[in-house]
Amino acid sequence: MVLGCGEKTSLPEGQQIWVHQGEAQGTTYTIKYVAQDSVPQFAFDKELEVVDLEMNAWRPESTLSRFNRFDRTDTVFEVADPRQVWSMLWAISSDVHRESFGAFDVTMAPLMRLWGFRTEHRETVTQAMVDSVRAFARFQTDVVDYNDVEDEEGRSMGGHLSKGDPRVQLDFNAVAQGYTVDGLAEVLESHGVAHAMVELGGEVKCWGQNAYGKPWRIAIDRPQAIGRSLQAILPVQNTSVCTSGNYRKTSMVNGMRLSHTIDPRTGAPVQHGLLSATVMTPSAAHADAYATVCMVLGPELGAAWIDSLQSEGREVEAMFIMDDGEEGFTFWATPTMRESLEWLQELPVHQP
């Protein structure tokens, strides 16, 4: 169930800012916008429910959960997909998988479970165990595939999912929340809202200006395991910002404390000094996925990958916060991002 409310606050010069807050997709959301009238809460509820009913891995009746339980390889799993959620998320996931040379992968659920990042916990994980799971935890068409289905006039009729192994399970957590933020933004834009901020689970999209005629101000957390403090403020206008981090979710396996970020190319948790990656790009879905890629690649390869996207003309900026090896932090950022940052706790520049 999605809980929400709308409230308005009188501001100088007759402006009004409307705020909707609630719970969705196992997290919270906040929607702020400047407008003469409020957008009906049910419009947001409907959009949240559309994605939740398709992609919520914790909701037994969702399409994703039903597919994950599907254990046949001799026939396809039919997806109605009236809003083309599967079609869009599959396309984005496939593109980022290819662009990142396999660092982004939506088939990681069995490996997350193996390493103790779901409800299970294991004291020991061997390479043989990893290899066994990787046989069916690969984003390849011989393992899992999705195909759109169209009628004779080219209209979407949903799609077909197929498994090459009955144990295949999907998880779109690293892209679905960003995709939902994009959808909520479309709801606002369809109601003529020209100035807004949408946040869901830390994934943010902003356009126009806040009620005081300034860019929206988005906080970047300090990567600390306990409590919360802010590292910097990022002014944001007409783009999306998503942050991924591995400093809170950990598991003790093989006598080591490991992060929850799994490298799809090895099947094991990453072991590098990158603690959080903040990515800014127009699409919240892509910002969400790109931040995950950077967390897999690590500081040097992640920075090189962001640079390569920029060299291709992509609108993308990024900031990384790293462990300096001495109980402190360093940072790296693209030039435009670095110039925009308003430090609350300034950090030294990372030296590769």
The answer to whether 219 and 319 are in contact (CB under 8 A) is no
pLDDT, tens digit (0-9, with 9 covering 90-100), for 242-252: 999 886 676 77
**The model's pTM:** 0.93
Residue 1 confidence class, pLDDT cut points 50, 70, 90: very low
Tokens of 166: 């009955």
Mean pLDDT, residues 77-84 taken together = 94
Residue 19 confidence class, pLDDT cut points 50, 70, 90: very high
Which of 10-19, 42-51, 343-352 has the highest mean predicted lDDT (pLDDT)? 42-51
Cα–Cα distance for residue pair 322/320, rounded to 1 Å: 6
Q: Is the pLDDT of residue 8 over 70?
A: no
Q: Is the pLDDT of residue 200 over 70?
A: yes
pLDDT > 90: percent of the chain: 77
Least confident of 8-12, 159-163, 325-329: 8-12
Which of 13-27, 213-227, 320-334 has the highest mean predicted lDDT (pLDDT)? 320-334
pLDDT at res. 12? 46
The answer to whether 110 and 69 are in contact (CB under 8 A) is no
The two beta strands, 77-79 and 230-236, are unpaired
Alpha helices in the chain (DSSP H): 41-55, 63-69, 85-99, 109-114, 127-134, 173-190, 284-297, 299-311, 335-340
pLDDT at res. 93? 98
Q: With b meaning 16 or more CB within 10 Å and e meaning fewer, what string describes 172-207?
A: bbbbbbbbbbbbbbebbeeeebebbbbbbbbbbbbb
Residue 11 confidence class, pLDDT cut points 50, 70, 90: low
Tokens of 116: 């103790």
pLDDT at res. 9? 47
pLDDT at res. 257? 81
Residue 15 confidence class, pLDDT cut points 50, 70, 90: low
**152 or 285: which leads in pLDDT:** 285
Average pLDDT, the chain: 91
pLDDT at res. 258? 82
pLDDT at res. 14? 58
Mean pLDDT, residues 230-247 taken together = 93
Q: Is the pLDDT of residue 217 over 60?
A: yes
Would you say domain 67-163 falls under CATH 3.90.1480?
Answer: no
The answer to whether 281 and 310 are in contact (CB under 8 A) is no
Q: Is the pLDDT of residue 33 over 60?
A: yes
Mean pLDDT, residues 281-306 taken together = 97
Q: Is the pLDDT of residue 10 over 90?
A: no
